[in-house]
C-alpha cells in the first residue's frame, strides 16, 4: 500500500483559502503546540488549524490556558513546525468521507486513502465528532440475539450478542488479532451489512497482512479500514478511534446497514491519550494514566450502540501489558462489554488454539432466555467439569492419574476431551498451520459437548479431539 496525495492536495488548498489568523507558535513539547493568540479570533475546541504558508501541517485546538494561550495537538510530524510560526484556523473540524465509496478502501485519520488506489470519491464528508442526525433514546435497541462467530469456544462459553460488544483480552502473542480476523471473515463472509476495522497503534505489517487476507477471502469490498499505526504520533493514534466511529454511525443512521466493527487495539487508544495527558502536564491518576481515562473510553464506546433500524456489533482487542489484568486501562474497558473473552498464555504454551480461557471468559448472553435452556445447561455442566479438572490436575501432577478414583478418572478424561475439542483450525491461518480451517455450527457444538459430558466417548483418547470440526465430521459420533 502506498500513500496517495491527489485528494490531499485538493483538500488542503481548500483549507488555506478560507483560513482565519489565530496567532503564533510559542513552544513545542512533543505533540503539544503552545499557541499565543494575538488575533481577535479564538478557535473553538476541536477546530482544525494549520500553518499560514504550509497547509500540510495540521493541528487541532485542544485546550485553553487563560484567554491568550491555546494548547493544540500536532497531527503532523514534530519537525514540521517551529517557534514563531504563524497559525491560521480552517473554521472546521476534521472531516472524513463517508458512504459506500469507503468500502474496500484503506484510509488514515483524515479519511485520506493510503492504499494506492486513488482518491475516495462520492463527495460526502462528515465531522469525526459531531453528528447531524441525533438518535432518540426510544430508538436505541438492547441486543438480545446471539451472533454466531463460527468459533466453538467463543460461541459456547462466551457468545457474542448481535448488536453487542465483545472484548478479546490478553497479553502479547496469545492470538488476539488472529482471532479477530477469523471472526471478521466468518461473520462478514456469511452475512449481510458492512464492516469497519480500526487499527490503532498496531504495526504496519499487521495492517498490510489483514488487507491482503480480506482481499483473498473476498470480503474486502464490504469492509472499510482506518489505520493509525504505532509509528505515528500519539495525537493521530488517539483520533483514529473517532474517525472509525464516524463511519460506523453513518452506515447505521443514514444507510441503515448492520455494522460489524473491529478495533485493534483499545489499549493503544487509551495509551495514546495517556501520552498526550503527560505532555499537557495534567496530574495523572493511578499507575500514571490520564485523569480522563474513564470519560475517554466512555465517549468512544457510547457511540457504538444499536438502533431499531440497524445493529452495531463490536469486537475489540484489549492488550494487557505484562499480563497484568488489573491494569487501569483494561479495567476501564471491561464495564462497556457484553462479552469478555480472556486469552490464556498457559493455553498457548500447551499448544491449544484459540487460547480462550473458559474460566475467565464471560457473556451476558449465556442465560436460558437468550441461548436456550439446552445450551445454558450444557455450558454450566461443562464449566463445573472443567473446574473439577483444575483441582484434579494438581493431584495428577504429584501422584499420577491412576491414583484418582474411578469417578474422578472419568471427569478428568472428559475434561481433557472437552479442552481438546475446543481447539480449532482457522480459515485465515490455513497457510501457517497447514490445517484446513473450520467454521463450526453452534447447535453441533452444543450437541457434541453434551455427548462428551454424558460419557458417550469415554473410550476415545483425548488426543483424537484435537483440531477437529464436529464429532460427526471426525467420525467419532454417528
Give the residue numbers marked as catalytic: 176, 202-203
Can you say whether residue 98 is alpha, beta or left, with left for phi > 0 and alpha for psi between -120 and 50 degrees?
A: beta
Q: How far is CA 106 from CA 100, 226, 228, 278, 315, in A?
A: 13, 6, 11, 31, 19
Grid look-up 487495539 returns 265
Grid look-up 466493527 returns 261
Q: In sequence order, which residues have a C-beta less than 8 Å from that of residue 375 and are 6 or more positions away?
A: 156, 442, 446
* Cα dihedral sign, 191-197-202-204: positive
**54-65/69-74 β-pairing:** antiparallel
| Cβ atoms of 445 and 151 closer than 8 Å | no
Q: How far is CA 125 from CA 102, 213, 324, 437, in A?
A: 11, 28, 41, 39
Cα–Cα–Cα angle for 441, 206, 212, nearest 5°? 65
**223-228/194-200 β-pairing:** parallel
- Of all helices (H) and strands (E), which one includes residue 309? none
The per-type count for the chain, helices as H runs and strands as E runs, is 14, 20
- Of all helices (H) and strands (E), which one includes residue 262? strand 259-264
Instruction: Round to whole Å and give the CA distance between 478 and 474.
Output: 10
Instruction: Round to whole Å and give the CA distance between 222 and 204.
Output: 21
As given in the structure block, the three cell numbers for residue 2 are 502506498
Q: In sequence order, which residues have a C-beta less than 8 Å from that of residue 308 and are 6 or more positions away?
A: 139, 141
Q: How far is CA 273 from CA 215, 264, 292, in A?
A: 32, 16, 9
Q: In sequence order, which residues have a C-beta less than 8 Å from that of residue 131 and are 6 or more positions away?
A: 246, 249, 253
Amino acid at each position: 500500500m502506498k500513500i496517495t496525495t491527489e485528494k490531499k492536495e485538493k483538500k488542503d488548498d481548500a483549507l488555506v483559502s478560507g483560513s482565519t489568523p489565530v496567532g503564533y507558535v510559542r513552544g513545542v513539547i512533543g505533540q503539544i503546540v503552545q499557541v499565543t493568540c494575538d488575533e481577535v479570533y479564538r478557535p473553538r475546541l476541536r477546530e482544525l488549524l494549520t500553518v499560514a504558508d504550509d497547509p500540510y501541517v495540521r493541528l487541532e485546538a485542544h485546550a485553553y490556558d487563560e484567554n491568550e494561550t491555546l494548547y493544540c495537538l500536532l497531527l503532523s510530524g514534530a519537525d514540521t513546525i517551529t517557534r514563531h510560526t504563524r497559525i491560521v484556523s480552517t473554521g472546521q473540524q476534521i472531516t472524513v468521507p463517508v458512504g459506500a465509496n469507503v468500502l474496500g478502501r484503506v484510509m488514515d485519520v483524515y479519511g485520506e486513502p493510503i492504499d494506492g488506489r486513488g482518491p475516495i470519491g462520492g463527495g460526502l464528508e462528515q465531522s469525526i465528532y459531531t453528528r447531524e442526525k441525533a438518535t432518540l433514546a426510544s430508538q436505541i435497541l438492547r441486543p438480545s440475539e446471539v451472533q454466531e462467530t463460527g468459533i466453538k469456544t467463543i460461541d459456547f462459553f462466551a457468545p457474542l450478542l448481535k448488536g453487542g460488544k465483545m472484548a478479546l483480552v490478553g497479553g502479547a502473542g496469545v492470538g488476539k488479532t488472529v482471532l479477530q480476523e477469523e471472526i471478521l471473515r466468518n461473520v462478514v463472509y456469511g452475512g449481510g451489512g458492512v464492516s469497519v476495522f480500526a487499527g490503532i497503534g498496531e504495526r504496519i505489517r499487521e495492517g498490510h497482512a489483514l488487507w491482503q487476507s480480506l482481499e483473498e477471502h473476498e470480503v474486502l469490498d464490504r469492509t472499510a479500514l482506518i489505520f493509525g499505526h504505532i509509528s505515528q504520533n500519539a495525537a493521530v493514534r488517539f483520533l483514529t478511534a473517532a474517525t472509525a466511529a464516524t463511519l460506523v454511525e453513518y452506515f447505521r443512521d443514514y444507510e441503515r446497514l448492520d455494522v460489524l466493527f473491529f478495533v485493534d487495539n483499545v489499549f493503544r487508544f487509551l495509551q495514546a491519550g495517556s501520552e498526550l495527558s503527560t505532555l499537557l502536564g495534567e496530574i495523572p491518576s493511578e499507575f500514571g494514566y490520564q485523569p480522563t481515562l474513564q470519560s475517554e473510553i466512555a465517549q468512544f464506546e457510547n457511540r457504538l450502540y444499536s438502533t431499531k433500524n440497524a445493529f452495531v456489533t463490536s469486537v475489540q482487542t484489549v492488550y494487557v501489558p505484562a499480563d497484568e489484568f488489573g491494569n487501569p486501562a483494561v479495567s476501564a474497558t471491561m464495564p462497556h462489554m457484553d462479552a469478555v473473552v480472556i486469552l490464556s498464555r498457559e493455553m498457548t504454551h500447551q499448544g491449544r488454539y484459540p487460547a480462550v480461557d473458559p474460566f475467565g471468559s464471560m457473556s451476558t448472553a449465556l442465560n436460558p432466555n437468550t441461548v436456550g435452556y439446552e445450551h445454558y445447561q450444557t455450558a454450566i455442566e461443562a464449566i463445573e467439569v472443567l473446574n473439577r479438572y483444575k483441582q484434579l490436575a494438581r493431584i495428577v501432577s504429584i501422584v499420577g492419574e491412576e491414583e484418582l478414583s474411578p469417578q474422578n478418572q472419568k471427569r478428568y478424561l472428559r475434561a481433557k476431551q472437552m479442552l481438546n475439542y475446543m481447539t480449532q483450525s482457522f480459515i485465515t491461518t490455513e497457510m501457517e498451520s497447514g490445517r484446513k480451517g473450520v467454521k463450526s455450527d453452534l447447535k453441533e457444538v452444543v450437541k457434541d459437548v453434551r455427548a462428551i459430558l454424558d460419557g458417550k466417548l469415554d473410550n476415545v483418547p483425548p488426543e483424537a479431539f484435537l483440531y477437529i470440526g464436529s464429532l460427526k465430521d471426525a467420525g467419532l459420533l454417528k
